[in-house]
Amino acid sequence: MLITGGAGYIGAHVALEWMVRGEEVLILDNLCNSHRSAIDRICTLAGKRPGFIYGDVRNRRMLDTLLRDYPIDAVVHCA
């Protein structure tokens, strides 16, 4: 599962909930209105670290690469 804006308040809670349910989560965030420490907090609470890509959801080429290179079956857009 790809969560855009996953280091923000809502995105981090969404990521945590899906990780607790056993889902593999990849977070895409440019950290504009968030902080990398949110990823550490998710790790502490879920007991495992989500994947993290520093980037902007507006970068079409990067999104194409992510969707091609990672086993993403769902996207939650929180950015």
Per residue of the chain (79 residues), give pLDDT as tens. Answer: 999 999 999 999 999 999 999 999 999 999 998 989 999 999 999 999 999 999 999 999 999 999 999 999 999 999 9
Res 53: pLDDT: 96
- Domains of the chain, earliest start first: 2-77 (3.40.50.720)
Res 19: pLDDT: 97
Query: 59 — phi, psi (to 5°)?
Result: -85, 95
Res 62: pLDDT: 94
Res 37: pLDDT: 94
Res 49: pLDDT: 96
Query: 78 — phi, psi (to 5°)?
Result: -115, 5
**0.75 exceeded by the pTM?**
yes
